[in-house]
Structure 1
Amino acid sequence: MTTTAAPAAPAPPGSPAAPAPPSARAGDRYSAGRTARYALLLFFVVLVLIPVYVLLVTSFKGPGDAAPARAWALPAQWTGANWQTAWTTLWPAILRSLEMVVPSTIISAFLGSLNGFVLARWQFKGADVVFALILFGMFIPYQAVMIPLNQLVLNLGIPNGIPSLILLHVVYGIPITTLIFRNYYRTVPHELIEAARVDGAGMLRTYWSVLLPISVPSFVVVLIWQFTNGWNDFLFAVFFSSSANGPVTVALNNLANGALLQNYGVSMAGALLASLPTLVVYVILGKYFVGGLMSGSVKG
C-alpha cells in the first residue's frame, strides 16, 4: 500500500515569503553584473569621445567663438569656413602623404612576408640569430639614431622629402612585419610545404603559389599597422622633409602654429581632416584586424 504526501499547507497571512530558488538569484546577479559592465563600457566610450566632441564643435566655430572658455559650448553661429581653409592648406600635403604611405606600406609588407617565410619554413644555419637581429631594430629609439641616419641619407644622395621617407618607413617597418608573418607562417601545416617540395616547387614558387594566397589575414594586419604608422609619423617628417615637400603631419603642425592665436577652429578642422584616412582604413579593414592578428598566435 502506497501513501502520498499531503500537499504543503499555504503560508498564513503575514508570514515571511519563501526564499527565491537558486536559479532566480543567479539570474539576478548575472543581470546586475551585465548592467554594471555595460555602464562601465559606456563610461569609457564617453570618456574617449569627449576630445572628439571638442574637436568637432570647435571646428565649426568662428574666430571669436573658438575660445578655451567656450570649448564645451556649441557654436554660437555654425560656419564651414574653417574646413574650407584647412582643406585648401592641407590638400597638397595629404596627397604627398598618400604618395609616401602607399608604396612604403606595400613594399614593407612584401619584404616582411618574404622574411617571415624564409625564417619560419625555409630554415638555414643561424636563422634564429638573424631573426633576433632583425627584431633588435624594433627596440632602438628613433631619437638615438636620427642624426647619423640623417647623415647616411645625405651620403646616399636620396632626395629630401617623400623619397627618403619611403625608404625609412620601409626599413623601419621590416622588423614588425617580419615578426607578424613569421608567427603566421609557423602555423601553416608542415605537410603543405612538403607537398609543394615533392611537386618540385622551389622556395620562391612555394611562397608565391602556396603561402601567399593564404596570407590575407596577416597582410591586413600589416597594411593597417604600416599605413597608420606612416601616416601619423612626425619625427621622420621633421628631419627629412620640409613644409614644401613634407607629409600632412608637417603641414598640420605649421597650420596649428599659424592659426593657434587667431582661430582654434582651423586647427581643429585640420586635425580632423588629417585623421580621416586612417579612420577610413580602420572602418574598412578593422573587422579583419583582430582576426588576422590572432591567426598567428596559436600554433595549429
Structure 2
Amino acid sequence: MTTVTVPPPAVETLAPRRKARRPFGPASIVKYALAILFLLIVLMPLYVLIVTSFKSGGDIGVTSQWNLPEHWTTASWAKAWTSLRDSFFRTFQLAIPVALISSLIGAANGFVLSRWRFPGADVVFTLILFGMFIPYQAVMIPLRDIVTTLGIPPGIPTLVFVHCIYGIPICTLIFRNYYATTVPEELIEAARVDGAGLLRTFSRIILPISMPGFVVTIIWQFTSAWNDYLFAIFLSNTRNGPITIALNALAGAQSPDYAASMAGALITSLPTLVVYVLLGRWFIGGLMAGSVKS
C-alpha cells in the first residue's frame, strides 16, 4: 500500500503594506505656503518683542522696530528683573497652590458626581457649573466684601482663595467627564467588594490613575492664576500682588521704557511657557481621555 504524503499548506507571508505617498502637487504647495504664512504672522510680534528687549533707548522707534539692535544690551532685562523679582516669586506662591488645591477638589467632586450617584446629583452638578458663567466683574465688589468679612489677609492669600473657588467648576467638569468615560465600573465594584469606602476608593484607586485629568487642570489653573489681572487689581496691590500688577506698573509709567517693558513681558510669560513645554505632550491626551467611552 502506497502512502501519499500531503505537503502542509504553504503559509503566505504578507509584507507590510507601505502607505502610498501622495504626489507633491499644487495643493500641497498652497497648503504649506499658507502654513508658513500663518506661522510668520504669529511669530512677528514675538520677534519685535525679543529684538526690542535688547535695544538701547536710541535704537527704539516706529521706523526701526523691525531692525536688529545696533548695540546689543541686557540693561533692560536687568531693570525689568529688578522691578519684577519680588512679584515673580509671589506669583509662584499663588499659582502653584491654586493649581493643586482646585484640582484636588475638582477630582473629588468629579468622582462623587460620576460614580457615587445620590438624589439631586444632577442639580448639584448644574449649580457647580453655573459658577463658570458668572462674570468676574459682576461679583467683584461683593467678593471683596466677603474676603474682608472672612478676615483673609490681603494679597496672595486672598487671591489663592478666590482662584480656588472660581477653579472648582471647570475642574469638576473635566474630572467628571474623565471618570464617567474612562474609569471602568468594574474597578469601583471590586473596591466595594473588598470593603473600601468612598474615601479609600478615591485615595487608593482613583487618584493614582487620574494623572491625565490632573495634567489638564493643573495647566489650566496655573495659567489662569499666573495671567490674572482683574482679580489682582481689585484684591491686591503692587506691594503684595502678583507679577501682572508689577508688569503693568513697569509698562504704564508716564515715560515708559519700551525695552524694559518688552523684557518684563518675556520674563512674565516664561513660567507658563515652561509648564506647557514640560506637560504639553500630555495635555491633549488628557483632554481627549474623557471624550470617548472606553
By the TM > 0.5 criterion, same fold?
Answer: yes
Aligned residue in 1 for 2:89:
95
8 A Cα contact 2:232 2:245, kept in partner: yes
Could you say what secondary structure the match of 1:298 adopts? coil
Q: Which amino acid aligns with 1:204?
A: L
Aligned residue in 1 for 2:204:
209
Matched, 1:221 2:216: yes
Matched, 1:175 2:169: yes
Q: Deviations over 1:100-147 (max 9, x none)?
A: 111111000000000000000011000000000000000011011101
Instruction: Please give the alpha-carbon distance, in whole angstroms, between the structure 1 residues aligned to 2:171 and 2:204.
Output: 20
1:168 CA drift (Å): 0.4
1:35 CA drift (Å): 2.9
Aligned residue in 2 for 1:250:
245
Could you say what secondary structure the match of 1:123 adopts? coil
Could you say what secondary structure the match of 1:64 adopts? helix
Aligned residue in 1 for 2:9:
none
1:29 CA drift (Å): 6.1
Q: Which amino acid aligns with 1:293?
A: L
1:96 CA drift (Å): 0.4
Aligned residue in 2 for 1:146:
140
Instruction: Please give the alpha-carbon distance, in whole angstroms, between the structure 1 residues aligned to 2:208 and 2:25.
Output: 45
Aligned residue in 1 for 2:190:
195
8 A Cα contact 1:252 1:270, kept in partner: yes
Could you say what secondary structure the match of 1:243 adopts? coil
1:262 CA drift (Å): 4.4
1:36 CA drift (Å): 2.4
1:30 CA drift (Å): 5.9
Instruction: Please give the alpha-carbon distance, in whole angstroms, between the structure 2 residues aligned to 1:95 and 1:202.
Output: 40
Give the counterpart of 1:282 among 276, 281, 289: 276
User: Which has the greater radius of gyration?
Assistant: 1
Give the counterpart of 2:131 among 137, 140, 143: 137
8 A Cα contact 1:63 1:262, kept in partner: no
State the aligned residue count.
Answer: 274
Aligned residue in 2 for 1:116:
110
Instruction: Please give the alpha-carbon distance, in whole angstroms, between the structure 1 residues aligned to 2:231 and 2:67.
Output: 37
Task: Out of 68-77 and 272-281, give the one that drifted further.
Answer: 68-77
Instruction: Please give the alpha-carbon distance, in whole angstroms, between the structure 2 residues aligned to 1:197 and 1:235.
Output: 46
TM (normalized to structure 2)?
0.90
Aligned residue in 1 for 2:150:
156
Aligned residue in 2 for 1:18:
none
Long gaps (5+) in structure 2? 1-19
Instruction: Please give the alpha-carbon distance, in whole angstroms, between the structure 1 residues aligned to 2:199 and 2:256.
Output: 58
Q: Deviations over 1:205-258 (max 9, x none)?
A: 111111111100010000000000000000000000000000000000000012
1:34 CA drift (Å): 2.9
1:69 CA drift (Å): 2.5
Q: Which amino acid aligns with 2:32?
A: Y
Aligned residue in 1 for 2:179:
185
Instruction: Please give the alpha-carbon distance, in whole angstroms, between the structure 1 residues aligned to 2:221 and 2:108.
Output: 16
Q: Which amino acid aligns with 1:193?
A: I
Q: Which amino acid aligns with 2:231?
A: F
